[in-house]
Amino acid sequence: MRNETPLMRQYRKIKEKYPDTVLLFRMGDFFETFENDAITTSKVLGITLTKRSNGAASEVPLAGFPHHALDNYLPKLVKAGYRVAVCEQLEDPKYAKGIVKRDVIEVVTPGATFSEKLLEHKSNNFLACIFIKDNICGFSFCDVSTGEFATSEIHIKNLREQIELIKPSEILIQKREKDAVYKLLDFDPEAAFPESKNKFFFTKVDDWVFNSDYAREVLTNHFGTNTLKGFGIEEMNAGVIAAGCVMNYLNETQKNNLPHIKKIYHYDYTDYIILDPSTKRNLEITSSISEGGREGTLISILDKSQTAMGGRLLKKWISRPLKRRDQIEKRNTAVKDFYENKSERKKIIEDLKSIADLERILSKISTGRAVARDIVQMKISLKKIIEIKFKLAKFTSPSLSALRNNLIVMNELIIKIEQCVNENFLTGIDTYGVINKGYNKELDELKDILINGKTWIENFQSRERSRTGINSLKVDFNKVFGYYIIITKANLDKTPQDYVRKQTLVNAERFITDELKVYEEKILNAEEKIESLEKSIFAELREIILGFADPVQKNAGLVAALDALISFAEVSETYNYTLPEINDTNEIEIIEGRHPVIERLLPAGEKYISNDTYLNPDERQILIITGPNMSGKSSYLRQTGLIVLLAQIGCFVPARSAKIGIVDKIFTRVGASDNIAKGESTFLVEMHEAANIMNNATSRSLILLDEIGRGTSTYDGISIAWAMTEYLHENPNIRAKTLFATHYHELNALAEIYPRIKNCRVEVKEYNDKVIFLRKINEGTADHSYGIQVAQMAGLPVSVTNRAKEILRSLEDKDYKRKSKATGDGFQISMFEKTITEFKDEQLRKLIENADVNNLTPLEAINLLKKIKDDLGNK
């Protein structure tokens, strides 16, 4: 607008470049926001919304905060779902001619941030990109705070599980493909961020960015290479496009300031067990079902890491169990070595406690955010790595020997940091400054002037007191007047002729002298030059450190692996785990297995009841497990899944012994949950998850099913559960090892029909009409469900449970008649309209009517006939 002030015109010009951000505009000591940004900022941050004059163009809304509060306020805006552009002053206002030059120095988004208040120490913060080409997705992700950068190509059907695995904080998508991505990820764009259940933060990117030639240019320019062959991604066109989009976005938000991102690797998800979102949720691997936090999860038990880097890697390992036996055994041997050498292990743990987050410190150095304390922490860490390398010589496993040999001694960098940075200044022992005395001759000379100059001021004050006879005479300083002499009004008559009056106060007056001003200029110039020179020296040191970025990153990765392996050993020894045998058979044999989480949550003195598990595809493919609620069926299923997972991440397992034939996928259908937001009932959610299992399981998969079919009528539920079990048994392409916990005792009949189905039950005892859970799994079938006893334990009214017993007896005697009985509370219990026999007749008739006799296979016809015969026999 023509009538706007020059400042507002400058603001609008910058805002036009960043229309989808909240623009924080530096003005002196404040960051200001205007117009809609001001309204947003005021609401999110809870700061005052005011107005600012805009010349003849009327007033504009204004909200701001002190510049030193940026680290507190900026994360709040990002957490609220806003992208934030930080616009800084690029010159000192004192020397500016006209409007101070300003520009955006970075754009902070959920996936592109270095803020410690937005980052979790033991979790990665990934920015991801999805590029869809036919049935293939280019999928790339980068953690700008650590420098990790990867890309891959995955089938479109596997996209959701990989998104759930990586858990990116922000996802870049092509504008024209946004609806397709939303559908694939079951995302509701109308749901508010971050309250939406999916918690995806999408950024829509212009279509032209998703171009193969442009992507290759962006990536090769960044890495300084001619091709991408050296990274193993040259032929992955969709993956390259996704990676190019990530790098383009980071260049825009970080202003090409990314020297710590040294490489990109091919993320091959086929190297890992597939854990779909349902399995990760039901097994509570990294987040609990109830609270969503770490408490009560597998990672809360396993994570004994001492470093942030080790914690992040351990979380990756838990989420990505291995499928290759050699890789698993490589970890096993290292964990075993640490397990058997406790005293040496404890020494290394003490060293690890002193190691800082080298990955994130390096990223701060590369982007100019590091302070002297970060540099010193890096130096301390590098020295500790030398000590760890020496101590690793006591371990003999090939894995640890290789790790030790790969650790790099970096004495040159350690010496450089020690020469340059004054650690005593950081601890307050020494006030000389952040740069060591003797490191830079010019700096030392300037500091001598400063130190001697201040001594001169003290001597000048003493001399002037003697000369004037004014004992209260004082030399002071402020930014407006510089150095000056204060004389109280009672002593003004003693003021010398050469004193020049500068200011009159209520009780005193301020004076200067020519001599004082000459020294003031020397001192102030020295202070300004010292500040400028120290910044320059520190910047040079950062560049020197970046020259060692590759070995620092390599050491960081090795320390992370060391920390994670030691964590496994600590847990294994502390909780009495055992080394599993990993083999290429298709069998699972667990002797006296325990649930790794539940056993740690038991009250003191209470022992966890261990159980055996034996599965193989030839004799014991499917175990049907019956028993009452609360007896331990679900825990047994989860226990088996977690033991297999622990074995395939290279950890010991909670069991007396275990032999694990490598599995390729773990599926679970445990527990019940509605998806009300999408109009999906518990039963529909259950069927979706069951369909996923049926369509994707293989002969090497492990399937854990709990109460399939309970969300519908009894006979519908039994029918679905029966048919699913048959399908898993008879389909030659599946034959997956399966644990099936159920209340449907009718399913026990399957063991008489199919040779690889076995029945198991959870043992209980009845005492005085109460049920005692023994938590022991044995061969056989459960006699009762004990639902009424469980209801009594839950506190259901006695009148209700007594009436339930009556109805149960009537049903069991097949002599149930219509009647009603008033309860003590005056309510009536509604009665069934038909006897159980009538129900069976109707179901039998429907079964025959619905049979497609023209298309039945011989096996299906035999099964149908047997079912009819059995049903008639049970009437």
Structure confidence by residue, pLDDT tens digits, 781-806:
876 666 676 667 677 787 777 777 77
Distance CA 802, CA 570 (A): 52
Q: What is the model's pLDDT at position 836?
A: 39
Q: For residue 79, give Cα distances in angstroms to 72, 108, 119, 146, 169.
A: 12, 11, 11, 20, 10
Walking along the chain (875 residues) 10 residues at a time, the average pLDDT comes out as 77 91 92 92 91 67 91 91 91 80 91 89 94 93 95 92 91 90 78 54 92 95 93 94 96 85 93 88 88 87 97 96 96 97 96 96 90 94 97 95 97 96 73 82 87 85 94 90 92 93 92 90 84 90 94 97 98 97 96 96 88 95 88 90 98 98 92 46 77 90 87 77 92 92 88 94 77 81 70 74 74 49 36 41 67 66 70 61
Fold identical between 6-108 and 127-270? no
Distance CA 573, CA 571 (A): 6
Q: What is the model's pLDDT at position 525?
A: 85
- Given CATH 1.10.10.350, say whether it is the number of domain 325-410+548-574: no
Q: What is the model's pLDDT at position 157?
A: 87
Structure tokens at 94: 């004192």
- CATH fold for the domain made of 6-108: MutS, DNA mismatch repair protein, domain I (3.40.1170)
- CATH fold for the domain made of 441-542: MutS, DNA mismatch repair protein; Chain A, domain 3 (1.10.1420)
CATH of 127-270, one of 3.30.420.110, 3.30.70.141, 3.30.300.30, 3.20.20.410: 3.30.420.110
Structure tokens at 384: 């500790």
Structure tokens at 136: 């293939």
Q: What is the model's pLDDT at position 846?
A: 67
Q: For residue 623, give Cα distances in angstroms to 413, 613, 620, 741, 742.
A: 60, 9, 7, 8, 11
Query: Which residue(s) pair with 203 in the sheet?
Result: 172
CA 183 to chain centre: 24
Compute how many other C-beta atoms are within 10 angstroms of the C-beta atom of residue 831: 12
Distance CA 8, CA 32 (A): 12
Q: What is the model's pLDDT at position 224?
A: 92
Structure tokens at 736: 């997956």
| Bridge pairing between strands 274-275 and 127-133 | unpaired
436 DSSP 8-state letter: P
The residue extents of the domains of the chain are 6-108, 127-270, 325-410+548-574, 441-542, 581-796, 838-873
Structure tokens at 823: 């309860």
666 DSSP 8-state letter: E
Q: What is the model's pLDDT at position 875?
A: 52
Query: To which residue do tokens 């993956």 refer?
Result: 239
**Residue 809 parent element (H or E):** helix 798-812
Q: What is the model's pLDDT at position 428?
A: 60
The dihedrals phi and psi of 831, each to the nearest 5 degrees, come to -110, 160
CA 344 to chain centre: 31
H helix count then E strand count, the chain? 29, 27
Q: How far apart are the first and last CA of the chain?
A: 89
Q: What is the model's pLDDT at position 5?
A: 82
Instruction: Give the 3-state secondary structure of 44-81.
Output: HHCCCCEEEECHHHCEEEEEEEEHHHHHHHHHHHHHCC
Q: Which CATH class is domain 581-796?
A: alpha beta
Q: Is the dihedral of CA 213, 214, 220, 221 positive or negative?
A: positive
